[in-house]
């Protein structure tokens, strides 16, 4: 703007106040002098000249912005937050929690290699959810029923308070034995579809089972309540990575498969 002011002064561009003052003077004389007056004609010619000059010399010219043009530059987000969600009700054994812990560790290593700064948020739940530290998350015993939606509500609250999607890449990994109240299915579906998944770069559900579950003979395996809920979302188009594991040796192959598929999807989207 400083350059534009200097240019207007040098080129003698009339200001708006000059035009308004001259126009007012002409209007006042028109009340007392005939329209054919030489004085009025001279002032009108002067006004027309000033108006012409104001149009010829623009207020802002591209040359004024040569060195002070501000253009938005995208800034890559170099930080990520990893939400660890886990059911800690009585049906979750120490073996199941160990499987979950190993999966979380792999996810953390994966994110650390891709982002400069990574934070972890631990949310555990029974019928109610709470953000806790790592030690409490994995080791403190809990009792109570199971209400998965409570963990999703708590994650939504924490994101709103501390992790704006404009500044953070948000990842979530949920571990459960698949148990959930059937009355909670609709709430979970709505929360995930409308509130959680739109915020996340990636959402993974790991269903953990007993060590000998896959070796039982004569027992039919049925999809759990939570698996059915998430599977229905996937079939409707939601992006949820889902896997079942029973033994620690399955953790790394499952993790590698999940994130290999993610890399292939990203490459296809960019091609």
> pTM for the whole thing?
0.67
- What is d(CA 204, CA 218) in angstroms, rounded to the nearest whole number? 31
| Tens-place pLDDT, residues 58-117 | 555 545 555 555 566 555 678 999 999 999 988 889 999 999 999 999 999 999 988 999
Q: Which long-range contacts (CB under 8 A, 24 or more apart) does 163-166 make?
A: 163/81, 165/199, 166/77
Mean pLDDT, the chain, rounded, equals 81
CB–CB of 115/80 below 8 Å?
Answer: yes
């Amino acid at each position: 703007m400083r350059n534009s002011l200097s240019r207007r002064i040098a080129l003698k561009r009339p200001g708006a106040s000059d035009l308004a003052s001259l126009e007012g003077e002409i209007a006042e004389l028109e009340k007392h002098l005939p329209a054919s007056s030489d004085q009025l004609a001279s002032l009108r010619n002067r006004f027309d000249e000033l108006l012409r000059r104001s149009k010829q010399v623009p207020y802002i010219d591209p040359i004024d912005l040569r060195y002070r043009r501000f253009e938005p530059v995208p800034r890559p987000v170099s930080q990520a937050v990893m939400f660890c969600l886990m059911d800690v009700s009585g049906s979750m054994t120490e073996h199941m929690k160990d499987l979950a812990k190993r999966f979380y560790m792999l996810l953390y290593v994966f994110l650390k290699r891709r982002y400069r700064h990574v934070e972890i948020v631990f949310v555990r739940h029974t019928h109610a959810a709470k953000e806790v530290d790592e030690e409490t998350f994995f080791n403190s015993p809990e009792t109570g029923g199971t209400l998965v939606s409570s963990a999703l509500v708590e994650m939504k609250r924490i994101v709103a308070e501390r992790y704006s999607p404009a500044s953070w890449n948000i990842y979530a990994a949920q571990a459960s034995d698949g148990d959930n109240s059937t009355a909670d299915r609709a709430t979970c579906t709505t929360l995930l579809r409308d509130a959680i998944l739109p915020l996340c770069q990636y959402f993974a559900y790991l269903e953990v089972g007993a060590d000998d579950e896959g070796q039982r003979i004569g027992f039919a395996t049925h999809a759990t309540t939570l698996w059915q809920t998430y599977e229905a979302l996937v079939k409707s188009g939601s992006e949820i990575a889902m896997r079942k594991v029973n033994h620690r040796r399955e953790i790394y192959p499952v993790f590698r498969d999940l994130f290999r598929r993610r890399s292939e999807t990203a490459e296809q989207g960019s091609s």
